Amino acid sequence: MKVGIVIFPGSNCDKDAVWAFSNIYNQEVVELWHKETDLKDVDLIFLPGGFSFGDYLRSGAIARFSPIMKSVIDFANKGGLVFGVCNGFQVLCESHLLPGALLHNSHQKFNCKNVFIKAETNNSFITQKVSKGVALKIPVAHGEGKYYCNDETLKKIIANDQILFRYCDENGNASDESNPNGSLENIAGICNEGRNVFGMMPHPERVVDAELYNTDGRLIFESMLQQAQVV
């Protein structure tokens, strides 16, 4: 699989993603500067975490209009695979490639800690090898991670099986106590209706290297690789 990792001014998790895809999983990786428009025939676009454009105005709002995003949106609209983590998720919501928005955390604090999430469906590129309902320990690092959408959108994403991950406790129970930011229905990750665009606030790319004593992100990466091999 050839992976394009987009770098905006202020991205800071791009190297973690490069390391995960290239050094841990031996995939071909190209780094794509936000001013480029050529996606270099990649199979997957990965939008990394960070603080693109300093989070000015709203997280992801300015990055959404970087030159490369026109190509990314065209790519997604033709069925291309696009995965955004943290700030990447915010950019995808601002681009309207994913429904809803990410608001300031309810408690107004920056969250930088390990949390537990569980997959809600196996019917997606990033969750097909993740056991449903089993808690994965994945770090979050965000100030604006509270997922929100209106009632109509919520009904639609539930009906279409678009909720990929929910925050939970270590036993897989989703509750207010296990919700780190006030996200609607404990939502931690979603996909679009076409099931080719994915976003999540937690950082699976930070937990794939055994040197870091947590490899709970591996099932997400292995899901992507399995699908890529089938394609």
Partner 1 sequence: MKFAAEINVMPLKALLDPQGKAVTGAMSNIGLSQIENVRIGKHISFELDADDENSANEMVDSACKKLLANLVMESYEFVVKPL
108 contacts partner 1 (rule: CB under 8 A) = yes
Dihedrals φ, ψ of 154, to 5°? Answer: -60, -45
Catalytic (active site) residue 31:
no
Fill in the amino acid letter for 114.
Answer: N
CA nearest to 179, candidates 158, 151, 201:
201
156 contacts partner 1 (rule: CB under 8 A) = no
Q: Could you tell me the smallest distance in angstroms from the CB atom of residue 183 to partner 1? A: 12
Catalytic (active site) residue 168:
no
Alpha-carbon distances, residue 71 vs 67, 139, 140 (angstroms):
8, 30, 28
Catalytic (active site) residue 86:
yes
143 contacts partner 1 (rule: CB under 8 A) = no
Interatomic CA distance for residues 145 and 168, integer angstroms: 15
Interatomic CA distance for residues 93 and 102, integer angstroms: 8
55 contacts partner 1 (rule: CB under 8 A) = no
Which of 15/58 has CB closer to partner 1?
58
127 contacts partner 1 (rule: CB under 8 A) = no
Question: Rg for the chain (alpha carbons), in Å?
Answer: 16
Identify residues 69-98 at the interface with partner 1 (CB under 8 A): 93-94
Residue 60 Rama label (left phi>0; alpha psi -120 to 50; beta): left
In a 13 Å sphere around the CA of 127, the CA atoms on its Cβ side amount to: 30
Which is the catalytic residue, given 13, 86, 149, 191? 86
Binding partner 1 by CB under 8 A: which of 182, 215, 222, 225?
A: 182
Token output for 209:
């290297």
Which of 50/100 has CB closer to partner 1?
100
The span of 68-76, 101-109, 192-200, 203-211 binding partner 1 (CB under 8 A) equals 101-109
107 contacts partner 1 (rule: CB under 8 A) = yes
- Show which residues are catalytic: 86, 203, 205
Give the footprint of partner 1 on this chain (CB under 8 A): 57-58, 61-62, 65, 93-94, 100-101, 103-108, 148-150, 182
